[in-house]
Amino acid sequence: MALLDWRSPEHFDHTGDQPCVICIRPTPLRSDQGKPVHKVCAEDWMDRHGPKEGDQ
């Protein structure tokens, strides 16, 4: 399973919760691209859609 390091303050939006782009539940967390997403949702998405073993 992919584990993201979101300890950086850029991953927390103090302006308020937004619906997660994956599960639609509210979250103050933001992806590297600024999209509202829970860390566990992003990690799960990466596991299902990320590069497969042997991909270059």
CB 25 within 8 A of CB 19: yes
Higher model confidence: residue 44 or residue 52?
44
Q: How do residues 6-46 score in pLDDT, each as one tens digit?
A: 999 999 999 999 999 999 999 999 999 999 999 999 999 99
